Amino acid sequence: MDAGIYFFGRHISGLARLNLFNVPANFDFPNGFDTNKWTAETGGNGNGNKEWQFYTADPGNAALDGHGCLDIIALKSPTNTFKTRFGNGAYSSARFNTRKKFSVKYGRIEARIRIPAGPGMWPAFWMMGEDTATAGWPACGEVDIMENIGKEPDIVHGTMHGPGYSGSQGPTAAFHLKNNERFADEFHVHAVECETNEIRWYVDGQIYERRTPADLPAGKKWVFDQPFFLLLNLAVGGSWPGNPDETTKFPAVMAVDYVRVYQR
């Protein structure tokens, strides 16, 4: 499937699409992991969500698979292998961001990903406002392009967070696969299109959510007309997905074929 045929709600094909946008910023992985664009985060503080994993920069938790994909790998080790704020210190994974290396204000942001399934898995492709260090969260804004909790293998969520509408109060919608399909079985393209005062969410070219300032609680500020950096991670456990159990299979792999950004 040509994952890039839908741009700002219009179906276009071939090279014509490049006439509408600047040449895309490609975050493909066949030739190696580009540290000029991505930074590996480390630590086990729970990230405000009571997550169990310790994020490492170890190749055991993130590696090229030999077929052009970046594998983000959650591993289970003996109890207390890692120092974490929550959980039993047995789990490690990886998280990457483009902060201070690449950001986008308006355009189409997409990634082709195959996610793992199972209780306690929490893969995500998302964005944070570049001013997070000064504004703090949620005032900086957050756009969750794709989140899944492993106990719901046929559902992904798209959500926005900002001042006065964060956490469980963030405007959100869910995309459901049909016919008992699972997101763990195939790669899917997850995307948002960002314009002034509007964000739209897509899975495999199908729009399933649209948000504007009219969707915010009365008097709350729209904080999404600014540069955002990108994040990819595979969390284990936490307040939303719940924790892994005896049925959760490890290693668990979030395979990323590419990340592409088409800027206005």
Active site (catalytic) residues: 142, 147
DSSP string, 37-76: T-EEE-B-S-TTTT---EE---TTTEEE-SSS-EEEEEEE
Please name the residue that has the structure tokens 């030739």: 31
Across-strand partners of 70?
64, 256
d(CA 166, CA 149): 18
CB 201 within 8 A of CB 158: yes
H or E element, residue 139: none
Angstrom distance (rounded) from CA 63 to CA 45: 23
Rounded Cα–Cα distance for residues 64 and 186 (Å): 18
* Length reported for the chain: 264
Inter-residue contact 54 to 43 (CB < 8 Å): yes
